[in-house]
Structure 1
Amino acid sequence: MSYHNMRGFGVRGVADARTFDAWLGEAVVDPATREEALRRWTSAPAARACHPREEHLLPLMVVTGAAGSDAASLPFRGDVLGVRVSAIHYA
């Protein structure tokens, strides 16, 4: 999940969620650069506002590593509980 700040759901998290989600979507697309981008995720705009703790973002890191150079897509990108979230798929 590209957003996991339980206190920020709703109006409070709208701008941060859209900002981080946009960054994350761009970060995973290019297999040549995504590992480095994800390694530095805490430097991404609104990163800690969207993920105060990293445990809900770590599964994405594992799956991305397993994907290697597989293409990434975002089969779902929409609003859930008032904030933007995306699902990332590798194939």
Structure 2
Amino acid sequence: MHPVKDLGRSIRTDQPLAAVIVHTLNGVQPRLQVTDSSPVMVKADTYFVLLPDTITVIDALGNSLTPSGQFWLSGETIDPHHVLIDKEFLPGKE
């Protein structure tokens, strides 16, 4: 099951991008933790969904991470592992 229930806003990348691998953590609040196998490159035309504010991204030590743009999560992956990018997509440029 994908951690983003309402897939709402989505994009397909138009170029390869740097990304990190995350895995879902069970608990009261949904969280994604960056794995040690990061970073990776994703191919152009990879499908991503906007990560809602209700899902927290943390590093290996449990520290909360803040995006410089917006967090986007791979939409065609299966729990517990996903790919996460931090990118600001402008309307009309997606």
Higher strand share: 2
TM-score (norm: length of structure 1):
0.30
Larger relative contact order (CA 8 Å, sep ≥ 6): 1
TM-score (norm: length of structure 2):
0.29
